[in-house]
Amino acid sequence: MRWTPGGRSPNLEDRRGQGGGFTRMGTGLGIGGGLVVLILSLLFGGDIFTGGSDQTGTGTRTATSGGELAPADSAREEPMVQFVSFVLDNVQDTWKKILPQIGTRYRDAHLVLFRDLTQSGCGTAQATAGPFYCPTDEKVYIDLGFYDELRRRLGAPGDFAQAYVIAHELGHHVQHLLGTEQRVRALQERNPDAVNELSVRLELQADCYAGVWAHATSEQRILEQGDIEEGLNAAAAVGDDRLQRMTTGRVNAETFTHGTSDQRMRWFRRGLSNGDPRECDTFNATSV
């Protein structure tokens, strides 16, 4: 991606130098975190729900006592912080233009960078949970170590792969603003048998919304050769079928909550091809 380093978004909260406190994680983990919690806990080992997990798998980082950010780490991560800030602003600026066209005003979300764990409106955010969006406080939570795992363990390198993750989570914020997330949660409460199916449709719509943003970046001429392939590769890397096969050696479609690799790529492409969020209606699609 073509982007200009420098400056930080006013919507970026940097908590990397703060201790998070070991509070037991509740069941309210935000959108995008549920399946990843299971997958990453299987990859890394440990019980992430008690705050006592072995989190060494999220990257080799040096911390000073009390969870403070070491100067060497701060300098090393600064380019990534600025990249995340650029993508955050670019995605949100895109939705500020698009949402009013379908009758909804966009309200900025915040993005929280943290190390290992921090508190969110949806409970304790831990690195092992992966990035997620919390509708309660309208914030995206990311530990930068996830990008190392995306590249090394999940085989999805590249800056646009990293941007896709942010765009997907902000897609959940769009769903929150449109009321989609609230309606889905109500439907899940009324029909527990449909919880997983509805979750898959919610996640695939967020992938499509990420594609809507990607369509806008192509018009801005900030895409470089290979960027779209990186985004598609990232979508495929976090498909339910692929992650289950990696961790258990088998696939159980009945437990899918995010969609297969093929589905995630397909809906990302759909948003990319037309740039219209109205084409991302996974809930009225006969088949996803």
Domain presence at residue 62 = yes
- Position with higher pLDDT, 238 vs 67: 238
Domain presence at residue 141 = yes
Region at 116 (left for phi over 0; alpha for psi -120 to 50; beta for the rest):
left
Domain presence at residue 288 = no
Helix, strand, coil percentages (3-state) for the chain, rounded to 5, are: 55, 10, 35
Domain presence at residue 4 = no
Give the structural domain span for 261.
12-280
Q: Collapse the DSSP code of 31 into the 3-class scheme (helix H, G, I; strand E, B; otherwise coil) and give the result.
A: strand
Number of structural domains found in the chain: 1
Predicted pLDDT of residue 228: 92
Domain presence at residue 7 = no
Domain presence at residue 83 = yes
For residue 170, pLDDT over 90 is answered with yes
Predicted pLDDT of residue 44: 35
Domain presence at residue 5 = no
Question: Residue 68: pLDDT band by 50, 70, 90 thresholds?
Answer: low
Residues 6+ apart with CB under 8 A from 144: 16, 59, 77, 80, 81, 84, 113
Q: Could you tell me the pTM of the whole model?
A: 0.84
Neighbours of 17 (CB within 10 A): 16
Residues 6+ apart with CB under 8 A from 156: 150, 230, 233, 234, 236, 237, 238
Domain presence at residue 3 = no
